[in-house]
Each structure stands twice: as structure tokens, then as C-alpha cells.
Structure 1
């Protein structure tokens, strides 16, 4: 499953909008559905249900990683702005 997670993570990026990422996830879901159809398993087969669950869990994990990345980037930008403001104030006092 790690390879699958890596594949999805490479297909999306934090610079993409949520809608663009959702389009990628839709393609992934469709591809998995086609693979499952080839296996000719019943729709309620536990293997298919597990695969679908793992797909959704993987997408959720990738989204979490993107949100975490964006949040850390915003924190770093805020810290840099705060440091710049402090430096500017400190320079005025000299």
C-alpha cells in the first residue's frame, strides 16, 4: 500500500487547488474500479470493500499531509514576517 500512497502523493501537489486534487482522486477511484471489474468479484466482496476503504484512507492521508505542509509553510512565513518586523524595530532603536 505504501507504493500506492506514493503514487497518489506524486500525482497531486500542494500548489494544486482542492478541486484539481479531487479530479486526480476521481481518476484514481475510476482506475481502481476498472481493476476491480476485471477481477469479476461481487460488489459486496470483502476484498473490494477493503480496497475501496484503503483508497479513501490513502486519499485522506495525502490530504492531511498537504494541509500539514501548507500550515507549516504559513507558520514559517508568519515567523519570518515577525522576525523582520522585530529587526526593523530593533534597528530604529540604534
Structure 2
């Protein structure tokens, strides 16, 4: 499953919109469903249900990582702006 997680993580990027990432996730879900159908197991088979759960968990984890990355970037940008403003104010006081 680690290879699958890596594949999903590489297929999306923080530069993509949420809608673009969702399109990728839908392709992944459909591909896994086709693979499961080829196995010929019932839709309520425990193995199938576990795979589907792991896919959704992986997608959730990737979205969390992207959200964390974007949040940290925004914080860094806000800090840089705040530092620049403080430097401007310090320059005026001299």
C-alpha cells in the first residue's frame, strides 16, 4: 500500500486546484474498482472493502499533507510581510 500512497501523492500537487485533485482521485478510484471487478469478488467482500477504505484513507492523508504544506507556506509569507513591515517602521524611527 505504501507504493500506492506514493503513486497518489505523486499524481497530485499543491499547485493543483481542489477540483483537479478530485479528478485524479476519481481516476484512481475507478482504476481500483476495475481491478477489483476483474478479481470477481463480491462488492461486500472484506478484502474489497478494506482496499476501498485504504484508498479513501490515502486520499485523506494526501489532502491533509497538501493542506499542511499550503498553510505553512501562507504562514511563512505572512511572517515575511510582517517582518518587512516591521523593518519599514524601524527605518522610519531612526
Q: Count residues in correspondence.
A: 94
Post-superposition, which runs of at least 4 consecutive aligned residues in structure 1 deviate over 2 A? Answer: none
What is the aligned-residue RMSD (CA, Å)?
0.5
Q: Which residue of 2 aligns with 1:12?
A: 12
1:39-93 residue CA offsets vs partner (Å, 9 max, x unmatched)? 1101110000000000000000000000000000000000000000000100111
| Structure 2 residue 89 is matched with structure 1 residue 92 | no
Unaligned runs of 5+ in 1: none
Q: Normalization by structure 1: what TM-score?
A: 0.98
Query: TM-score, normalised to structure 2's length?
Result: 0.98
Residues 9-48 of structure 1: per-residue CA shift (max 9 Å, x gap): 1000011110000000000000000110111101110000
* Higher-RCO chain (CA-CA 8 Å, sequence separation at least 6): 1
